[in-house]
Amino acid sequence: MPHRVFRLLTVIWVGSLLTIGYAVAPVLFTSLDRMTAGAVAAQLFRIEGVVGVICGVLLLVLANMLVRRGNETYRRLRWPVMGMLICVLVGYFALQPFMNALRIAAAEAGTDVGHSAFAARFGMLHGVSTVFYLIESLLGIVLVWKLPVASNAGAMEQPARRVAG
């Protein structure tokens, strides 16, 4: 059962990460005006940040539990999870508050951040945030790629059933 929960949390996190970042956000910016698209994307990325922290912490707990039970396969999976979690924490909880403060300051000045005195600083923070998002995405793909295959996971669970049965 923990194998399946690990797999489910991985799919939720990586799937939402890739969907929001590489499908939804670009569509927003091609369909809506820049200010509205930015506001909606910022809210989606905040939600994605919370999903990332929850999934990341739960995945680390599950991986540690499985390693303690003797399943060495999950020992190597902790590294991409930890890297993704660091990217989430830096990207969403360190950089995003600064970006939001610049958006608010620009709105108080009566303009959007792209046409304000804060545009260069916002652009730099956005670029750094994008790099962290890209790294998180690549680590997510690595995590999915390295997940134990179904027959392997099933084989790992078989001995436990025989002992219990």
Angle at 67 between CA 66 and CA 69, to 5 degrees: 65
Domain count, the chain: 1
pTM: 0.83
Domain membership of residue 132 (yes or no) is yes
* N-terminal to C-terminal alpha carbon distance within the chain: 16
**Is position 32 within any domain?**
yes
Q: Which domain holds residue 111?
A: 2-149
In a domain, 94, yes or no: yes
159 pLDDT more than 60 = no
Q: What is the dihedral of CA 104, 106, 111, 114, to 10 degrees?
A: -110
Q: Tell me, yes or no, whether 164 lies in a domain.
A: no
In a domain? residue 74 = yes
- Of 154, 110, 136, nearest to 56 by C-alpha is 136
* Residue-wise pLDDT tens digits, 94-123: 998 898 888 888 888 888 888 888 889 999
